[in-house]
Structure 1
Amino acid sequence: MADAPVVAVRGEAYREVAPELARFTVTASARDRDRESTLSRLAERAAAVRVLLDAAEPAVERRETGQLRVWPETKRSGERVVAYHGSVGTTVTVSDFTALGELMLRLADQDQVEVAGPWWSLRPDSPAYREARHAAIADALARAREYAEALGARVTALLELADSGLTAAPPMMARAAFAKGGGGGAAPEMELDPQPQPVQAAVEARFSISEPVLG
């Protein structure tokens, strides 16, 4: 077997699959000349965001509070504080896309709240990754058989298989930024089209083959 002819090939697979998750950010802000008033308004607006997210369960799979910022605004000519600013962001993960557009618009309809996103992605354990790896192995075997047949030989054994890497695109965003613009009434409806997620797998393989028939 060690002296048998060897063919080395690269197997590849590329798929575009439907996303499984969508993430977006919600940022509540406040500004006032008084620091305590700024903090109070910021807390109220953050609480209003939480109420809407609570009402959206179970569509909301996960939410994480990000950066909380409170900072003074000073005059250019000195350190005298003229106002205080505050903001707090939340990253929301949604798996039910039918409720995504409505939820984002309802959040954006809140006073001094900005919504940005969504970012589409797959779950880390998505079956799409496994399917791509299997397809890459099948491609490597098919290529090896093609080369062997061209030589009048056949594949006899697998000698080595190496994973060249599984590549998934970083979360892709169809940007839709919303900010409260005044006015009343119910928030308008919006449909969002999920972006297909590319998944690519590759393997390096070495196969032994029977003696070629040359000439």
Structure 2
Amino acid sequence: MPPLRHVLFWKPYGVLSQFTDPQGRPTLKTYIDVPDVYPVGRLDQDSEGLLLLTRDGQLKHRLLHPRYGHWRTYWVQVERIPEEEALRQLAQGVVIAGGYRTRPARVRRIDPPPLPPRPVPIRYRKTVPTCWLEISLREGKNRQVRRMTAAIGHPTLRLVRVAFGPLSLEGLSPGQWRPLTPEEEAALYRLCHLNKPSHLP
């Protein structure tokens, strides 16, 4: 059986987006036993959701380089209920720590999504309501979503990436992985305007 080219993984809360850690924290190796695949970008240790791993370095470059601006979609639970003006600010771009202004995004309120409970529950305060947002970005700065919601005064409590380009978490649970389907693989290469490399089986 040929080695797998691409793996779709639901990264659980508390897991690092890497295969080794000198401090002994949970890593991808705890869940994925597939040789020579590497994560396309990262999710923070306290973030969850979709992580793509691939053997194709050129595909990884196209997916991550800011020039190509592929959409990433997150479900984000924040403190309190943002006003419409705050959502407009997020969508138009906000200045985050370091002085960077984010690119325009898609932002909307959503009903609480059907996610499994987090192993470490969010902090709960009876007097402080929470709200779920769907935020789609075409960039991926370090901890960007958290820094964006902080900039409008609504700290992120839980963050789950649910889609990256044509890929979604559908059919997975936290800690599960699967190979891409041929259709997903074809859609990914079309998105990146690449042909599948002949050296990959």
Q: Same fold (TM over 0.5)?
A: no
Which structure is higher in helix share? 1
- TM-score where L is the length of structure 1: 0.32
TM-score w.r.t. the length of structure 2 is 0.33
Q: Which one has a larger percent strand, Structure 1 or Structure 2?
A: 1
Which of these two proteins has the greater Rg computed from alpha carbons? 1
Considering Cα pairs closer than 8 Å and 6+ residues apart, tell me whether 1 or 2 has the greater RCO.
Answer: 1
